[in-house]
Amino acid sequence: MNAVVDLKNISKRFGSVEVLSNVSMELRAGRVHALAGANGAGKSTLVKIFAGVHQPDAGTIRVDGVEVTIAGTADARRQGISVIHQHPALFPDLTVAENIFVGRQPTRLGRIDWPEMRRNAGALIDRIGMKVDVDARVKDLGVAERQAVAIAAALSSEVRVLIMDEPTSAISAHELEQFFAVVERLKKEGVAILFITHFLDEIFAISDDITVLRSGKHIVTAVAADLTPASVITHMIGTATDDLFPTWPANIGKTVLSVDGLCGADGFDDISFDVRAGEIIGFFGLVGAGRSEVAEAIFGLRKTLSGSIAIDGRKQSIRSPREAIEQGISLVPEDRHEQGLVLQFPNRANTSLALLRRISDIFGRIRGEREETLAETYSRRLGVVATGIEQLTGTLSGGNQQKVLLAKWLALEPRVLILDQPTRGVDVGAKADIYRIISELASAGLAIILIGDDPDEVMAMSNRVLVFRNGRIAARFERGAFDREGMLTAAAHSPVHSLNGEAA
Amino acid sequence: MSASPSGRSIQRRERSFIERILFAREMYLVLVLLVLSAGITIVEPRFLTVYNLQQVALSASLVSIVAIGQALVIICRQIDISVGPIVAASAFISADYLVGNPTTPILFIFLIGCGVGAFLGAINAVIVAGFGIPAIVATLGTFAIFRGAIIILAEGRQISATSLPPNFVGIAELTVAGVPALVWAALLMAAFGGWMARYTRFGRNLYAIGSNPEGARLAGISEQRHIAAVFVISGVLAGLVGVLWGARFGTVHAAIAPNMHIDSILAVVLGGISIFGGSGTIAGAVIGALTIAVLQNGVLLLGVNQFWIQAIVGAAILATVVFYGHMSQRAETRRRTERRDARARQRHVQNSRASS
Amino acid sequence: MNRRELIGKWELFLFALLVAVLVAGTLTSEYFLTTSNISIALAGAMPTAIVALAMMAVIVTGEIDISVGSIVGLCATAIGLTIERGASAEFAVLASMAVGLLAGALNGVVVAYGRVPSLVATLGTLALFRGVAQIVLEERGISNFPQWYQELGFGTVPYTPFPWSAIPFVVLFLIALFILHATYWGRGLFALGNNRTAADYSGIATRKYIFAAFVASGLACSIAAVVLTGYLASARSDTAIGLELNVITAVVLGGVSVFGGSGKLIAVVTAVFVLALVQNVLGLAGVTPERQQVVTGLVLIISLLAFAGPAKLRGWIAKVTSRTNTHTVAN
């Protein structure tokens, strides 16, 4: 059987980071190919190369044995390749039917045939086996329903290759069962499917072939029956690279932050934990498991319904980031472009942004020399590579931007430091630097919360780990009793054995 | 509401919810219109005379044609401040031509007016779509340029009804089935605009662009071309209104329609079209224009000082946008609550499953 | 791509433009460089200049205030009314400031807390404020101002060509320069104009900042109303109609991005004077106000187009870099 799409020796780099090197894979008609890998392994880049969003720097793409270039999304579609992105680009104000057929509505005599469009949309939705009102507006739908709309849209033109980037990350167990049924049906129709997911149980439930990527490198491709969940995890994580992580003497003091029974309006329930001075607590969990939401609640960005937050044993009501900063809490947010930095500002202004009041005189004038000293000091301490503190932050590499972001929050001299995925999208060198800085901060007596979805990182850096699942703390591990597989199992949201026999 | 997490029950509940939202916007306006008319009628029964209703419909028809163009512009997340000067330019140029050439066929006069509108709209289109200049400042600039240019062109002249041929001025008196021709023109434009917005790919693409420009690009819709098109359409409709203006009032000078941008935007906003683009209907804009006309007629009939009109219009804009803003915020909170409930149910199911 | 440098170049361009207009004016009219002409030109430019100071703050946040002309009209109405009722001119100034403050606060509440787009909100208040002025004054003009009050708008500081109204302008300019470019408050405005989420995460109370910018705009309008009624020696309900066009033109010509987050006050003020002198030269050459309006509109569009070139380039660079970012982040 020949491959429908065949990628050979694909490489791609962005700036100084090589994101894919020499990756090859084939998609065959009627087979589900799973793509596994930790965060940053290069899965999304590979998907974007399939979709024509990115062009590879090296390597060839063949469709039906003919070498092609995929110039863009529309071009990919013309060649029969449809992609469902993790966050599908839907039109919130339009109806489900319109979202499915946008730009390609069925017409009769030059006039959009609404009944026909609604019928076709209904048929596609039925084909997926979901129940979504075709007249509903997408902005009124839940996450799973939106996902269904995206799948239906992908199927609305003739599809030979369907690529699904983490389609299951937001759907419930019941919907998952339906989703698998859809995949089975498409498989029987002869569609080649590429399936990307974090969840190993899902991989083994529906895949025929499995490819594992790690740090942009092709690790293994094999028939699913030849692999086990444990071997896939080993391939994904590799042997722990211990030299990346520093060691430091634990110097644990009194409890600084204690959270008790915290319930949020959106995303988490009954969260309790303490963080002591000099201690790093790891928050491990998947996206949407509630770990970032808890951090944002502590930082005053989210409303809480009940529960309490205490600093040094005194209860505090924190209603805004400003109040959190006054209490000595710093949050290094996960998205440095959206939430963290003003890319148009020089490093100096980014470093001082959260503490401008402190370095201003009674007229509100920012004391220039203090601002510069501060920026210089932290720039040196964190090893920011730049032409100077006046270089615009947007022109720095990802790793250096991340260091500026750290500088901004460390300059506040916080007592509690929350780091939300501090090494996301940075290269290995910067990673090692950031780990070293975190360990130094812990030695200096900061209470640190480290949020991550790389189990290695969380285990190597934390004194204790809390595993989040569905907005709750699913498991707690102490240093010395860390268990990688145990953590992954606790974080995975749908034990596969409970899927069968689940009645609505 | 059942506790079952099955798709069907969620779907049915949300559908009725959407219907509520959908109807809330336009129903709100129709209700306001009815209450307003009833109130005026109670105080001043002359409101309900055929003559008065004709006058209301006539003034509504001119604004509503401009508002149809404005609605298309706003649906794809743009705005056109320059409509008033376009009306004036079209009115003056077409009427001036007619004075010089009284035997010109009326149809040709309409072509001149619409051509002037298309030309000026195309200038907006090039600046906004071609150069990517924000529509608000771009059309603020052309607003000044167009108005200044037409004042220069008019050289302070004023064209009066007596110098226009009777068959042209007669258009305003023409009635078909008791309804003035101008009103028919507006209804025709509304029907055509509404049809285009709902039944053509072009129209739906405008909603897609307004709703999610990035997504529209991914779907292969050319944002530039559509934005350029709506500015030209808005210009053509303003040009058409210019000719009708000359026919209706007979008197044309360079300073007419000074508040057309405010009136047309108000009609659109009142009609429930989101200023952020992507939602709303042409019918809403027309009902909005009708509401403004009733309001202004009522103010006149009730003998309220005419100086009140502008303040009332301004207050109406503010009240409407604040009301809609509040409503969409409440809807957002509500959706969030519902999603949370759904998630809580899921969690409950999963937890109980995990423990079994 | 260093933006500071770009704006530096733009300022140089504006200075060169200013010099060119001065030269052109001197060559075309012998009256141009006379003390009386320069002081008339400056006095006429003061209301626009004063309002532009605050408009810059509003536009830096990414919002816009198109109700400024109407606020000035409403403040002028308040001045006229109080003077008509026999109150002192000092009281009239206070009344104007109170009205400006309230009008700005209304805009600020609706935009910052009611989450209404500033464009529609201030379009609404543009009609509302003008309408209220019309209700109050109808078609009357009030002109029995005390002598010193008219001096404020038209007279000059002894031995200089500078009108008295230049003094409040210079004071306000220095205050605005200080606030926008030296204080944490100004830094916060720029930060939120560039990235509102990051500003929120940094503990900056973004709503308060936006509210304050609109209040500042209202207050600046009230001072402009005092200067303008003095200059015109009358207060009418249609005072300062269309002022927003002049002000926004000056701010955009001054290199402030309408998307927020960048700009320099000195460039905006230079742009105000460039525009004022252009209009003055045109006036001396016998060009009618209508033609001057066309020129103002053209200057607005041309300066926007001049920015679109580099902006398109910037956009392209941003697209390339953001592609890198989305990539590295999305993995």
Q: Which chains touch A (3 or more CB pairs under 8 A)?
A: B, C
Distances (CA, A) of B273 to A26, B75, B228, B305: 48, 7, 20, 31
Give the model's confidence band at B17: pLDDT under 50 very low, under 70 low, under 90 confident, else very high.
very low
Please tell me if residue B153 touches chain C, with a CB cutoff of 8 Å.
Answer: no
Confidence of residue B9 (pLDDT cuts 50, 70, 90): very low
- Within a domain: residue B140? yes
Interface contact flag, B218 A73, Cβ < 8 Å: yes
Please name the residues in contact with C162: beta carbons below 8 A apart, sequence gap of 6 or more.
C39, C42, C156
pLDDT given at position A135: 87
Band (pLDDT 50/70/90 cuts) for residue A44 is confident
Of C184, C187, C205, the CB nearest to A322: C205
Q: Which residues contact A128 (CB under 8 A, 6 or more apart)?
A: A148, A151, A152, A155, A178, A179, A182
Nearest residue, CB atoms, A91 vs list B5, B215, B350:
B215
The span from the first CA to the last CA of chain C, in angstroms, equals 28
Structure tokens at B67: 């508002």
Question: What residues contact C228, with CB distance under 8 A and at least 6 apart?
Answer: C46, C47, C72, C76, C153, C239, C240
Query: And the tokens for C153?
Result: 């708008």
Nearest chain A residue to B17 by CA: give it. A140
Nearest to C161 by CA among C258, C42, C269: C42
What pLDDT was estimated at residue A242?
55
Residue C263, SS3 per DSSP: coil
Domain region containing B90: 32-326
Parse chain C into domains and list their residue ranges.
3-326
The confidence band for B338, taking pLDDT boundaries of 50, 70 and 90, is low
Measured over the CA atoms of residue A301, residue A302, residue A305 and residue A310, the dihedral's sign is negative
**Does C321 sit within 8 Å of A86, measured CB to CB?**
no
Percent of chain B with pLDDT over 70: 85
Residues in chain B: 356
Question: What average pLDDT does range A456-467 have in this prediction?
Answer: 90
Residue B9 domain-assigned (yes or no): no
pLDDT over 80 (residue A343) = yes
DSSP annotation of A215: T
Q: What is the mean pLDDT of chain A?
A: 84
CA angle C192–C127–B316, rounded 5-degree value? 90
The nearest alpha carbon in chain A to C1 belongs to A395
Q: Which residue bears the tokens 């056109």?
A: B80
Number of B/C CB contacts below 8 angstroms equals: 143
| Angle between helix B135-154 and helix B106-125 axes, rounded to 10 deg | 140
Q: What is the mean pLDDT of residues A43-58?
A: 86
- The number of beta carbons lying within 10 Å of the beta carbon of residue A16 is 11
Average pLDDT over residues A49-54: 85
Gap between the Cα atoms of A463 and A476, Å rounded: 11
3-class DSSP state of A283 = strand
pLDDT, tens digit, 9 for 90 and up, residues B110-167? 999 999 999 999 999 999 988 888 888 899 889 999 999 999 898 888 888 888 888 8
Residue C327 to chain A, least CA–CA distance (Å)? 6
| pTM attached to this predicted model | 0.81
* Alpha-carbon gap: C156 to the closest alpha carbon of chain B (Å): 32
Tell if the CB–CB gap between B353 and A498 is shorter than 8 Å.
yes
pLDDT digits over A264-305, tens only? 877 788 899 999 999 999 999 876 778 888 999 999 988 888
Q: Average pLDDT in the B230-241 region?
A: 97
**For chains A and B, what is the number of CB pairs under 8 angstroms?**
126
How far is C34 from chain B, CA to nearest CA, in Å? Answer: 29
B124 domain residue, yes or no: yes
Mean pLDDT across the stretch A489-493?
Answer: 73
- In a domain? residue B14: no
Chain C residues whose beta carbon lies within 8 Å of the beta carbon of residue A42: 331
Nearest Cα residue to A261 out of A253, A269, A249, A252: A269
CATH of domain C3-326: 1.10.3470
Determine contact: C311 vs chain A, CB below 8 A.
no
CA dihedral of B194, B196, B198, B204, whole degrees rounded to 10: -130
The nearest CA of chain A is from the CA of C121 a distance in Å of: 22
Residues from chain A contacting residue B213 (CB–CB below 8 Å): none
Chain A residue whose CA is closest to C193 = A342
B7–A495 CB contact, under 8 Å? no
Work out the burial of residue C197: count CB atoms within 10 Å of its CB; fewer than 13 is exposed, 13-18 middle, 19 or more buried: middle
DSSP designation for C163: B
Which of C115, C300, C101 has its CA nearest to residue C218?
C101
**Would you call B346 and A172 a contact, using CB atoms and an 8 Å cutoff?**
yes
Identify which of A334, A363, A366, A365 has the alpha carbon closest to the alpha carbon of residue A352. A366
Q: Cα(B150)–Cα(B69) distance, rounded to whole angstroms?
A: 21
Which chains have 3+ CB pairs within 8 A of C? A, B
Dist CA B148 CA C245 (whole Å) = 13
Per residue of chain C (331 residues), give pLDDT as tens. Answer: 333 444 567 788 888 888 988 998 899 888 888 888 988 899 999 999 999 999 999 999 999 999 999 999 999 999 999 998 888 888 999 999 999 999 999 999 999 988 788 988 998 899 899 999 999 988 888 888 888 888 877 788 888 888 888 999 999 999 999 999 999 999 999 999 999 999 999 999 999 999 999 999 999 999 999 999 999 888 988 888 889 888 998 998 888 888 888 889 999 999 999 999 988 998 888 888 878 888 888 888 887 787 665 555 455 445 444 433 333 333 3
Strands A111-112, A107-108: pairing kind: antiparallel
Instruction: Report whether pLDDT(B207) > 80.
Output: yes
Q: Does A103 sit within 8 Å of B211, measured CB to CB?
A: no
Alpha-carbon distance of A248 to A460, in angstroms, equals: 11
Total number of domains constituting chain B: 1
Average the pLDDT over each of A214-218, B78-82, B198-202 and give the range with the smallest value: A214-218
Closest of A296, A242, A300, A274 to residue A447, by C-alpha? A274
Q: Highest-confidence range of A50-64, A396-410, B318-332, C88-102, by mean pLDDT?
A: C88-102
Element (H, E) at A309: strand A304-311
- How wide is the angle at C-alpha B135 spanned by C-alphas B133 and B140, nearest 5°? 105
In this structure, is the dihedral angle defined by the CA atoms of residues B132, B134, B137 and B139, taken in order, positive or negative?
positive
Query: Which residues of chain A make contact with C262, given a CB cutoff of 8 A?
Result: 344
Contacts of C205 in chain A (CB under 8 A): 320, 322
| C300 part of contact set with chain B, CB < 8 Å | yes
Q: Is the pLDDT of residue A398 over 90?
A: no
- Per the domain annotation, does B307 fall within a domain? yes
Alpha carbon distance C124, B314 (integer Å): 4
Q: What is the CATH number of the domain that holds B192?
A: 1.10.3470
Does C233 touch chain A if contact means CB atoms closer than 8 Å? Answer: no
The runs of H, that is alpha helices, within chain C are: 3-28, 35-60, 68-84, 89-108, 118-137, 147-154, 166-182, 184-194, 196-201, 206-232, 243-253, 265-284, 289-330
What ipTM score was computed for the predicted complex, to two decimals?
Answer: 0.82
Q: Which residues of B294-329 are buried (b: 16+ CB within 10 A; e: fewer)?
A: bbbbbbebeeeeebebbbbbbbbbbebbbebbeebe
Closest CA to A150 of A87, A94, A78, A199: A87
**Of C246, C245, C268, C271, nearest to C256 (Cα)?**
C268
Across A436-441, average pLDDT: 91
CA closest to B195 among chain A residues: A111
A200-220 exposure pattern, b = at least 16 Cβ within 10 A, e = fewer: bbbbbbbbebbbbbbbbbbbb
Chain B residue nearest residue C137, CA to CA: B307
Chain C (257-286) residues lying within 8 Å, Cβ to Cβ, of chain B: 258-259
- Under the banding of pLDDT at 50, 70 and 90, the label for residue B193 is very high
- CB distance C191–A43 less than 8 Å? no
pLDDT per position as a tens digit, A68-112 = 888 877 788 888 888 887 666 789 889 999 999 988 888 888 889
Contact across the interface for B219 and A172, Cβ inside 8 Å: no
**Residue C258 to residue B259, Cβ atoms within 8 A:** no
Rounded to an integer, what distance in angstroms lies between the CA atom of residue C161 and that of residue A140?
A: 65
Chain B residue closest in CA terms to A100: B219
Nearest to A366 among C187, C197, C322 (CB): C187
Return the closest-CA partner of residue A173 out of A195, A196, A201. Answer: A201
In a domain, B6, yes or no: no
pLDDT score for A198: 67
Secondary structure string (H, E, C) spanning A28-39: ECCCEEEEECCC
Per-residue confidence (pLDDT) for residue A499, from 0 to 100: 35
CB A333 within 8 A of CB A410: no
- For position B290, what pLDDT does the model report? 93
Which residues in chain A are closer than 8 Å to C317, comparing Cβ atoms?
none
